[in-house]
Amino acid sequence: MRSTVFTDEENVMQLQVALDVLDLPSALTLANQVSEHVDILELGTPLVKSVGIGAVSAIKAAHPDKLVFADLKTADAGELEATLAFEAGADLITVMGAADDDTVRGAVSAGRKYGKSVVADMIAVVDGRVERIREVAELGVTFVEIHAGLDEQARPGYTIDTLLEDGRRAGVPFSIAGGVGIGTIASVREAGATVAVAGGAIYNAPDPAAAAYELKKRATA
């Protein structure tokens, strides 16, 4: 694996907020509310699709001191899509871990060109997930995101535990996404995650700033 813009400083787990809103004013408002308590501002996939890649530039311009993560979930044309986001100001982008190896390689190649980071999103890779995590790590991604998407989370009986178990087994740097909240973030840290991703636990909270503050406290405890 290769670390570029992203640095795992002093092995302290970082907190990433997923701005899963659908318009730029709402994204900017939420980012302003929570930025002091988070390390990484993520433009969720629906936001990028709704607003366009210009949303990345707007968030970066408003928060130049934060890492900006464009959750592209690229499934094809890895170099092209990663380049679009890096040119727009993204510090990290996602490529699907389930994508063709050449798609992952293309995104990694763009990351190297721009000195930015590529994260492999393992959403929908369930069987053989640990093996695929190791393969994409070999392809040069900065870290993997072990992720249960919103649809998987909505199924009865969902727990974060299998994500954590695969993170422990994989032996490569990883983030966890999929219902991270006050009740689970300590277990994410204990599993050894580099980054905890929280969306709904922050944007659905009555006070998003307070929720981000509490998560950050537990992320670093």
Ligand X SMILES: O=C([C@H](O)CO)[C@H](O)[C@H](O)COP(=O)(O)O
Residue 192 found at the interface with ligand X (CB under 6 A): no
Residue nearest to ligand X (CB): 199
The residue (of 46 and 192) whose beta carbon lies closer to ligand X is 46
Query: What is the distance between the alpha carbons of residues 116 and 32, in angstroms, rounded to a whole number?
Result: 24
The residue (of 193 and 201) whose beta carbon lies closer to ligand X is 201
Q: Within 132-161, which residues bind ligand X (CB under 6 A)?
A: 149-150, 153
Q: Which residues contact 62 (CB under 8 A, 6 or more apart)?
A: 28, 31, 32
Q: Which residues contact 103 (CB under 8 A, 6 or more apart)?
A: 74, 75, 76, 77, 78, 95, 96
Among 168, 187, 200, 210, binds ligand X (CB under 6 A): 200
DSSP-derived letter for residue 3 is -
Which residue is associated with the tokens 């700033």?
209
β-bridge mates for residue 138, sequence order: none
- Cβ at position 38, least distance to ligand X in Å: 13
Q: Which stretch binds ligand X (CB under 6 A): 5-13, 83-91, 178-186, 205-213?
A: 178-186
- Residue 194 CB-half CA count within 13 A: 18
Q: Where are the alpha helices (DSSP H) in the chain?
A: 24-34, 45-51, 54-62, 78-88, 101-114, 129-138, 150-153, 161-170, 185-190, 200-203, 208-220
Region for 179 from its dihedrals, namely left if φ exceeds 0, alpha if ψ lies in -120 to 50, beta otherwise: left
Among 118, 146, 160, 180, binds ligand X (CB under 6 A): 180
Residue 198 found at the interface with ligand X (CB under 6 A): yes
Among 44, 89, 111, 208, binds ligand X (CB under 6 A): 44
Query: What is the distance between the alpha carbons of residues 205 and 199, in angstroms, rounded to a whole number?
Result: 10
Among 18, 24, 58, 170, binds ligand X (CB under 6 A): 18
Residue 187 found at the interface with ligand X (CB under 6 A): no
The residue (of 30 and 109) whose beta carbon lies closer to ligand X is 30
x/- track of binding to ligand X for residues 63-82 (CB under 6 A): --------x-----------
- Cβ at position 2, least distance to ligand X in Å: 23
- The footprint of ligand X (CB under 6 A) covers 18, 20, 44-46, 71, 149-150, 153, 177-180, 197-201
